[in-house]
Amino acid sequence: MKRMALSLMAISMLVGVANAQLKVNTKAIGAVGKGVKAATYSDADAARDAAAGVKWMDEHNPVADANDPYAVRLNKIFGKHKSEDGLNLNYKVYKVVDINAFACADGSVRVFSSLMDIMSDDELLAVIGHEIGHVRNHDSKDAMKAALTRSAVADAAGSQSGVASALTESQLGALAEAMMDSKHSRKQETDADMYSYDFMKKHGYNVMGAYNAFMTLASLSEGSGAQASKFQKMMNSHPDSKQRAEEVKKKAQKDGLWKEADIKKIK
Ligand SMILES: [Zn+2]
């Protein structure tokens, strides 16, 4: 299994914004753009620009093809939610070692195979629900705006329509990287967690999956070694995993959906 093709992207994703190597890539693009005018940047703009960034990522990362067991499994889990909550969603698996998943403003959700390796179907549903929540709450649009500014293609994007299609290969790469580097606020993360819980409940899924998903993430942050430390840094922008699990527990108990027996045994 490969690392993500864009190694800088993978690193920035794991380590965060303040990364020396990230600068190298940004420098290649030029000065930072002036930013995107908040008032005029629409959902459609965000969808268009996100689609361009995702297209680049799909072309530069090992996407599981339709017959790949990972793709078959994700299709089984995600297939019935393509039109969730009025959204138009699409999904793929990246066969990479990084443990992550992300959603973009155009409704693209990408799940990494290494995350699938450590999570049950119910846990993955909770992650998917969380990502859909980001799209539904327009967090992905905010993230897209920030990514455009950081990737220095904002000037171009602000000055003409359909500009994403006119970006050069390296500009698209920078845009993709900035998208991966986008952090949501804690409030956005908490809201997405709430959305995820409601998503599980609404569809009659086992909400213990949400609890177990957060406990799995918590276990990854524990321990020592380079992998744990990378993961801790990545999770810095999120509320504490155990706290997130506790929130699920409170809701589940209130709803009568808490099942002690379904708590995952984590080694
Ligand atoms: Zn999130």
144-164 pLDDT, tens digit per residue, is 888 887 776 655 544 444 455
143/5 Cα distance (integer angstroms): 22
72-99 pLDDT, tens digit per residue, is 999 999 999 999 999 999 999 999 988 8
Q: Which of 65-74, 157-166, 232-241 has the lowest mean pLDDT?
A: 157-166
Residue 145 corresponds to which tokens in the numbers above? 């705006």
189 among known catalytic residues: no
Q: What predicted TM-score, i.e. pTM, was given to this entire model?
A: 0.81
Amino acid 237 reads S
Confidence of residue 122 (pLDDT cuts 50, 70, 90): very high
The DSSP 8-state label assigned to residue 64 in this structure reads P
* Between residues 38 and 261, the one the model is more confident about: 261
When the pLDDT of each residue in the chain is averaged and rounded to a whole number, the result is 80
Residue 70 corresponds to which tokens in the numbers above? 């990972």
The confidence score (pLDDT) of residue 137 equals: 93
Sequential DSSP letters for 10-47? HHHHHH-S--HHHHHHHHHH-SPP----TTT--HHHHH
Residue 23 corresponds to which tokens in the numbers above? 């600068």
Ligand 1 centre to CA of 192 (Å) is 6
The confidence score (pLDDT) of residue 135 equals: 92
- The answer to whether the CB of 205 falls within 8 A of the CB of 212 is no
Choose the most confident range, by mean pLDDT, from 134-138, 183-187, 231-235, 244-248: 244-248
The confidence score (pLDDT) of residue 22 equals: 22
Ligand 1 centre to CA of 189 (Å) is 5
Q: What percent of the chain has pLDDT over 70?
A: 78
Q: What is the residue extent of each domain of the chain?
A: 7-262
209/222 Cα distance (integer angstroms): 20
Ligand 1 centre to CA of 30 (Å) is 29
Ligand 1 centre to CA of 34 (Å) is 26
Please tell me which residue in 131, 177, 189, 247 is annotated as part of the active site.
131
Ligand 1 centre to CA of 166 (Å) is 30
159/111 Cα distance (integer angstroms): 33
* Between residues 112 and 235, the one the model is more confident about: 112
